[in-house]
Amino acid sequence: MKWRVKKSTLAGSVAVPPSKSHSIRAVLFASMAKGRSTIDNLLPSPDVDCAIEAMRSAGAVIANGKIDGVDGKPKFNGVINAGNSGQVLRFVGALAALGEKPVMITGDDSLQKQRPVSPLIEALQVLGAEAKEDKGLFVKGPVMGGKTTLSGEDSQPVSAILMMAPFLSGRTELEVRKSGEKAWIDLTLYWLKKLGVKCGHEEYKRYWVEGDKTIDAFDYSVPGDWSAAAFPLAAALVTGSKLTVDKLDMDDAQGDKAIVDVLRLMGAEIVVKGTSITIKPVAELKGAEIDINPLIDAVTILAVLACFATTSTRIYNGAVARTKECDRLNCITLELKKMGADIVEAEDSLIINPAKLQGAKVKSHGCHRMAMSLAIAAMGADGITEIDGVQWAAKSFPNFKEVMQAVGANIE
């Protein structure tokens, strides 16, 4: 599936989709709870669908936003398809270790080859599980509460252990080496505390969670996705347009709301009012030094934005971006160079100098954020850009093309 995108001028308001990360956590915790939960405004995404199907296989009854949970006793068995979702792979992999049946969590080619599971395997084995990498993750419990350790450059294995721990006996303690993506761990801790779980951490190096917890059913409405908001916000700056992005909560636990601070650092004029952010045209964008780890999902769109700045930008501390749906540091470098970008890739960073972008034939590398980032780049470039593999955008921003068309994007 392809898009053809040309230089655009935007105006109006964009409503961002519900948060993918909140949606998946809501499904998993409601499925593990006691009683019936109601979850409104779930993101219609293949990743969320995989989470739902996984928890149905554990015994949860899920229909029309109503979830009858398993009261902390999942009955996973056999093969679970995580599709393209690293969250489902790691989070469900940990929950599956609560049971005694062998479970295989697998998915598409990208998930099998691109998403490391060895840190999670390390932690599960110490807690008593049989676990190994096998076209995804094989796991067989039961695990016991206690002390374990893992390498935490990627936050998802850390979150997976924290999400499993309330259902273990006693206290679970987790020591984390090389802790990264801390904003996403904060999101998981937010959920645990919201549900009454006693937990805490010491400088993101040591965590503790009290077990033997019964999670009561709850009602929840999924807020707008700050990760998705980065794309229309950047589009306004790239096209020199005034645009309002709606359905956002400035008090939400999502770490990617730091995009507002980064855009202001680059010279953006942003007005926050209620659940809306209005971004206005500026005379020039400035390059910046950006520690991307706290908002790692924004690396591709910030690389695009940096091309339109008047001075150089360095995006650093982003090595973990290499283990997402694709190697995002390498892939965004390859594709933006096709458009004329002056971009240099290093081990954990990108250096981007100002450049005038031209239309080209580019591809998403199977990554939703790559597809949308390249579309935004094309809205500010001369000529026509043809983007292959755009169907992946539906993973986190359903109807991205139609939503952007509605505010003036020249995309077909």
Confidence grade of residue 166 (pLDDT, cut at 50, 70, 90): very high
For 320-373, the pLDDT digits (tens) are 999 999 999 999 999 999 999 999 999 999 999 999 999 999 999 999 999 999
State which of 152, 174, 208 marks the end of a domain. 208
**247 located within any domain:** yes
- Strands across the sheet containing 269-273: 11-15, 242-246, 276-280, 269-273
**215 located within any domain:** no
Is 246 part of the annotated catalytic residue set? no
**320 located within any domain:** yes
**177 located within any domain:** yes
Q: What is the 3-state secondary structure (H, E, C) of 219-262?
A: EEECCECHHHHHHHHHHHHHHCCEEEEECCCCCCCCHHHHHHHH
| Residue 129 burial class via C-beta count within 10 angstroms: exposed 0-12, middle 13-18, buried 19 and up | buried
Gap between the Cα atoms of 64 and 315, Å rounded? 42
169 and 80 inside one domain = yes
The tokens 């954020």 sit on which residue?
A: 369
pLDDT at 90: 96
Name the pairing type of β-strands 289-291 and 313-316. parallel
261 and 290 inside one domain = yes
pLDDT at 223: 95
Q: Which of 47, 68, 297, 382 is catalytic?
A: 297
pLDDT at 334: 98
Gap between the Cα atoms of 336 and 180, Å rounded? 27
6 and 28 inside one domain = no
**213 located within any domain:** no
210 φ/ψ angles, rounded to the nearest 5 degrees: -80, 130
Helix (H) or strand (E) holding 23: helix 20-32
C-alpha of 57 from chain center: 24
* Number of domains, the chain: 2
Segment 39-60 shows an average pLDDT of 97
Gap between the Cα atoms of 111 and 323, Å rounded? 10
State which of 177, 208, 239 marks the end of a domain. 208
103 and 235 inside one domain = no
10 and 80 inside one domain = no
First CA to last CA distance, the chain: 11
Contact present, 74 and 98 (Cβ < 8 Å)? yes
The answer, yes or no, to whether residue 123 has pLDDT greater than 90, is yes
Beta bridge partners of 285: 309
The DSSP output letter for 59 is T
Virtual torsion, Cα 117, 44, 402, 2, nearest 10 deg: 40
150 and 10 inside one domain = no
237 and 350 inside one domain = yes
For 190-235, the pLDDT digits (tens) are 999 999 999 999 999 999 999 999 999 999 999 999 999 999 999 9
8 and 27 inside one domain = no
Tell me which amino acid residue 104 is. M
The answer, yes or no, to whether residue 376 has pLDDT greater than 90, is yes
**214 located within any domain:** no
Residue 204: partners with Cβ closer than 8 Å, 6 or more residues away: 152, 176, 179, 182, 185
353 and 395 inside one domain = yes
55 and 190 inside one domain = yes
**216 located within any domain:** no
List the CATH number of the domain containing 88. 3.65.10.10
| Bond prior to 142 in cis (omega within 30° of 0) | yes
Tell me which amino acid residue 124 is. L
The DSSP output letter for 29 is H
Q: Which domain holds residue 43?
A: 20-208
The answer, yes or no, to whether residue 134 has pLDDT greater than 90, is no
**28 located within any domain:** yes
239 and 365 inside one domain = yes
State which of 155, 173, 208 marks the end of a domain. 208
228 and 301 inside one domain = yes
Confidence grade of residue 114 (pLDDT, cut at 50, 70, 90): confident
Q: Which of 292, 403, 283 is nearest to 351 (CA)?
A: 292
Cα→Cα distances 366→104, 173, 202, 372, Å:
23, 37, 37, 11
